[in-house]
Chain A
Amino acid sequence: METIIILHIILVFMIIGSLITVEIRNMLSAVISVGAVGFALSLAFLFLDAPDIAITQVIVEILSLVILIRATIKVDNVAIEKREHILSDRTALIFVGMILVFAWFAFQSLPTFGEPSMRVSQYYLMNGLREVGATNFVTSVILDYRAYDTLGEAMVLFTSISGAFVILRRWKKEQDKDFLRIDREH
């Protein structure tokens, strides 16, 4: 029972942090507060009996904070002053509220919290030790039963990182232009 109360507190903290992220004017503060939300998420994973994911979440959160700060620190992080047309903000709010209402009805058909239906996982838990030999069952699912999924993950990761490199690469013409500009300035 105590775990559930702690989880409520962590989730409320995450909601407050993400509200600050959305509404604050300074972009650097927004990035820092999304980092706070991510570390709270790692804490929630720890309370939900998922230590592997908690460790991964901490590492990924640090890396993504570094990337996001790189995006915001060199440019002017002044917030955009001009307001959106007031109608479009309200329309977005109305639609988000409608999504929440429909989600409330959808939650009634989910299994109740704390009693998962473990039809597939029962097999993994019963036979994992004999067939794979790993005592950590998350590892045995990742690296043996669903190894093709992990292969696909590596492929997606490679594709996205090489895409980022291609986008950030400086072309030869642009470099020449940069040199010209520097010459003119001096």
Chain B
Amino acid sequence: MTLYFLDFVLFAIGIYALVAKRHIVKKILGVAIMEYSVNLFLILIGFKKAGVAPILTKDMDLVTFIKTAVDPLPQALVLTSIVIGLGTLALMVSIAIRLYERYGTFDMHEINRLRG
């Protein structure tokens, strides 16, 4: 239970960076931290005490493997989510670079003031 809570504290730090900071790159880092926390949360839910990784080896029979293996489904979905996170990060960073070229600053309020 405390592990879940610590993980959610990480999520809250990401939300704080996204909402309260003015620097665009800091907002992007906040999104990245939130993504870490969500991935870790899904893996924490699928964890089994004294479990083994969901890979069948030769010296293990199927019955004990089914009883002890951790949940493979969240692991497969998180694998997808990590790679998608890289794509969205690249998109966000390219938008930030374009904004900097156009306005000469990373400050969100300054960009809002200069627009139009």
Contacts and interface: CB of A to CB of B under 8 A. Distances in A.
B15 A80 contact: no
A168 interface: yes
Interface size class of A (residues with CB under 8 A): 35 or more
B25 A71 contact: yes
Contact of A99 (B4, B15, B30): B15
Contact of B106 (A12, A22, A80, A89): A80
Most chain A C-beta atoms within 10 Å of own C-beta, residue among B12, B47, B54, B66: B54
B6 A168 contact: no
B14 to A, nearest CB: 7
Given A41-B36, A129-B56, A113 B4 contact: yes
A1 B52 CA distance: 14
Given A11-B10, A114-B48, A149-B80, A137 B69 contact: yes
Contacts of B84: 153, 156-157, 160
Nearest to B17: A22
Interface string B14-42: 11110111110110111011001001100
B30 to A, nearest CB: 7
A135 interface: yes
A48 B16 contact: no
B44 A96 contact: no
Contacts of B9: 15, 100
A180 interface: no
B64 to A, nearest CB: 11
A157 to B, nearest CB: 5
Interface of B: 1-10, 12-17, 19-23, 25-26, 28-30, 32-33, 36, 39-40, 43-49, 51-57, 62, 65-66, 69-73, 75-80, 82-91, 93-98, 100, 106-107
21 contacts: A22-B26, A31-B25, A31-B29, A44-B43, A48-B47, A52-B79, A64-B90, A68-B29, A80-B106, A95-B19, A96-B16, A100-B12, A113-B1, A116-B70, A120-B73, A135-B56, A137-B55, A142-B80, A149-B77, A159-B87, A167-B98
Given A67-B93, A137-B56, 12 more contacts: A18-B10, A51-B55, A53-B79, A68-B89, A68-B93, A71-B93, A96-B16, A100-B8, A116-B70, A135-B57, A136-B55, A141-B72
